[in-house]
Amino acid sequence: MMKWLNEGMKRFWKEEDGLGTLEILLIVAVLVIIAIAFRKWIMKWVESLFTNANSQITGQSGSIESDATKISPQAP
């Protein structure tokens, strides 16, 4: 059983297709670690993005309504 397990591990280590998968897993792990390390900064940045977008949408809604009333046909 141990011999079979050792041979399987050697085959896996020598197989080149597995290295691509290993590289992707390492990249994902590094990205997760970075995201965890900077999570407070990332959350503040995302919150500021949504706040800015909300204020721009709120500011534009008044001008959209006034433009719509100007160009809409009047009822007889």
Is 39 within the bounds of a domain?
Answer: yes
How many residues in total does the chain contain? 76
Q: Name the domain count of the chain.
A: 1
pLDDT in tens, 12-39: 777 766 667 788 889 999 999 999 999 9
Cβ(18)–Cβ(24) below 8 Å: no
Question: How much is the pTM?
Answer: 0.44
Is 76 contained in some domain? no
End-to-end Cα, the chain, rounded Å: 91
Q: What percent of the chain has pLDDT over 90?
A: 33
CB 42 within 8 A of CB 35: yes
Q: What is the mean pLDDT of the chain?
A: 80
Q: How many other C-beta atoms are found inside a 10 Å radius of the C-beta of residue 42?
A: 13
